[in-house]
Structure formats: C-alpha cells, structure tokens
C-alpha cells in the first residue's frame, strides 16, 4: 500500500509559517525533515518552498511552484495555500510568503501515478535567497546520486523540523526497486524513480511530499524527481519513490505555459 509523504490531517488546516508560534518546533501542531540529513545553509537551495498544507515544493518560475499531485485537491481556483520562500528557518522574520490563486493538477493523476501539480502564485516572488530550479527534459540525469531536502519529519512519525535539512541518496534501478525484497511491482517504472540505501537510514519522510529531488546537470542543478511515497521512512529495502520528472517534462512545461509561467 502506498503511503504518501504528506500530512493528510494538515491538508484542510492550511497552517502557515507566518502563523506559527515562536515556541519550539516540537510544540507545533503541524507534523510536516529529511531522515538522516543535515541542516542546509541559507541560500544553498534558493528554490525550496514550504507549503501551508504540509508539503514541500520547488520554485519552477517566479509565479509557479512545482509540487506533488496528492498535495492538492484538484485543478481550479485556489486561494487557500500559502507558500514560504527564502529561508531555512520557518520562523525567520526574513521569510517571504505568497498566496496561491490557482492550482493545476496533472490530468492523469490518481492514487497510483501522475503525481505532480503546479501552484500559481497571486504575484511573482523574488528577493535574496530566492531562485528557480530547472526541470530535466531527458533521462540523462536519472541515475547517480541525488540531493533531497525538506522540512518534513526527521524520523518516521516524528515532528516537523523548523530548519531545512538535506541529504544525498543514490539511484535505485527499476528492477531492484520492484523486486520482491522491496516494492514487489508497485512502482511504475516509466513514471516513477527510486532512490535510497538498501540499509535504509536516509530518506524523505512525512511532510516532504512535493519537494524536489535534484542533482548537478550540465550547467547547474536540475530537478529529476518529486517526493511522492514510500513504505515508512528510511526503512531497510524501502527506498523513497519519486515522480520521474523527465517523463512528465513536456506536460509540465505545457501546463506552465498555459498558466502564464
């Protein structure tokens, strides 16, 4: 059974970084980081976005955030989402926020695939420590080592992290990921990509859904995956499963164009 890496109980709550109490992160009711990771540095990943429904995302353009389809309720006008940019500390007074005005979810989205969506912002975002992340348009970068980042739980069932964390995970082949010792055929080999360690210990987790998996490309970082699902967090033989951006790149670009981004 697929276990999304989002916080379903938070989807209707739309708790934002701007409304968080300055109390310690462990006291916050939101339980949205990367298991086995380290704290990122300010400006290291300027494209990282925190979404108020308990998901992550990447800034695709100054007006669009790329996230997971299961993080949103569908396509249409939506002014309820708050996106936070430009910080590693969600309680920083330097954070920049924008409200959404429209959501586009992949037309083929269902509970077993096409797990991507675009959130259009009410106004363009810019500023210090804010930048965009290009998506890969081919399978060239779909192997090797990837970087994952987010504010989700640092352990399975754990609490939201106040500070952005990061980690490195290796590619896992479709054959291995779909083997009986891992996901036994549950992974859509054409549309999903796996990454993680056989021994476990490093992974995305609840609250990281929608965030990017990325690596070095020909001229900078490129996004190759979107945090989607997995069995628990950082368990042995249960790597993270990510939406394979290369497969959907043309559709994502077309949707972005239609949204003015």
pLDDT at 178 over 50: yes
The mean pLDDT of the chain is: 90
pTM summary value: 0.90
Residue 213, phi then psi, degrees to nearest 5: -110, 130
Give the rounded distance of the alpha carbon of 86 from its chain centre.
16
Q: Choosing from 52, 61, 100, 209, which is the catalytic residue? A: 209
- Which CATH number does the domain 139-246 belong to among 1.10.10.10, 3.40.710.10, 2.40.50.140, 2.40.10.10? 2.40.10.10
Write out pLDDT tens, residues 138-172. 999 999 999 999 999 999 999 889 999 999 999 99
Q: What does the pLDDT read at residue 1?
A: 56
Which residues lie closer than 8 Å to 57 by C-beta, 6 or more apart? 48, 49, 50, 51, 65, 66, 67, 71, 83, 119, 210, 211, 212
Q: How many residues does the chain have?
A: 261
Report how far apart, in Å, the C-alpha atoms of 128 and of each of 44, 49, 87, 88, 96 are: 12, 14, 9, 12, 10
Q: Choosing from 114, 115, 142, 203, which is the catalytic residue? A: 115
Q: Is 21 annotated as catalytic?
A: no
Write out pLDDT tens, residues 110-136. 878 899 999 999 999 999 999 999 999
Q: Choosing from 52, 61, 70, 208, which is the catalytic residue? A: 70
Q: Is 155 annotated as catalytic?
A: no
Q: What percent of the chain has pLDDT over 70?
A: 89
Residue whose token pair is 């981004």 = 261
Write out pLDDT tens, residues 11-49. 333 333 333 323 333 333 222 359 999 999 999 999 999
Residue ranges of the domains in the chain? 139-246
Give the rounded distance of the alpha carbon of 115 from its chain centre.
11
Instruction: Please tell me the distance from the alpha carbon of residue 187 to that of residue 204, in angstroms, as a whole number.
Output: 17
The encoded tokens of residue 12 equal 């209707």
User: What is the arithmetic mean of pLDDT over 189-206?
Assistant: 97
Q: Is 209 annotated as catalytic?
A: yes
The encoded tokens of residue 44 equal 């290291």
């Amino acid at each position: 059974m697929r276990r999304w890496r989002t916080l379903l109980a938070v989807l209707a709550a739309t708790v934002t970084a701007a409304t968080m109490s300055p109390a310690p992160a462990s006291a916050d009711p939101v339980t949205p980081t990367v298991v086995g990771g380290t704290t990122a540095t300010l400006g290291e990943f300027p494209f990282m976005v925190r979404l108020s429904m308990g998901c992550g995302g990447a800034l695709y353009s100054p007006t669009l955030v790329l996230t997971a389809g299961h993080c949103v309720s569908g396509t249409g006008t939506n002014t309820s989402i708050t996106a936070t940019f430009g910080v590693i500390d969600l309680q920083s007074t330097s954070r920049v926020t924008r409200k959404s005005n429209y959501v586009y979810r992949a037309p083929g989205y269902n509970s077993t695939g096409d797990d991507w969506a675009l959130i259009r912002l009410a106004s363009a975002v810019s500023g210090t420590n804010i930048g965009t992340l290009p998506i890969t348009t081919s399978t060239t970068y779909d192997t090797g080592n990837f970087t994952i980042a987010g504010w989700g739980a640092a352990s399975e069932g754990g609490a939201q992290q106040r500070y952005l964390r990061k980690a490195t995970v290796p590619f896992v082949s479709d054959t291995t990921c779909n083997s009986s010792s891992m996901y036994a055929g549950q992974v859509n080999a054409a549309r999903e990509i796996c990454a993680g360690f056989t021994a476990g210990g490093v992974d995305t987790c609840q609250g990281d859904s929608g965030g990017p998996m990325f690596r070095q490309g020909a001229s900078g970082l490129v996004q190759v995956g979107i945090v989607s699902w997995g069995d628990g967090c950082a368990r042995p033989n249960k790597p993270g499963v990510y939406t394979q951006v290369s497969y959907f790149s043309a559709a994502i670009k077309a949707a972005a164009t239609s949204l003015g981004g």
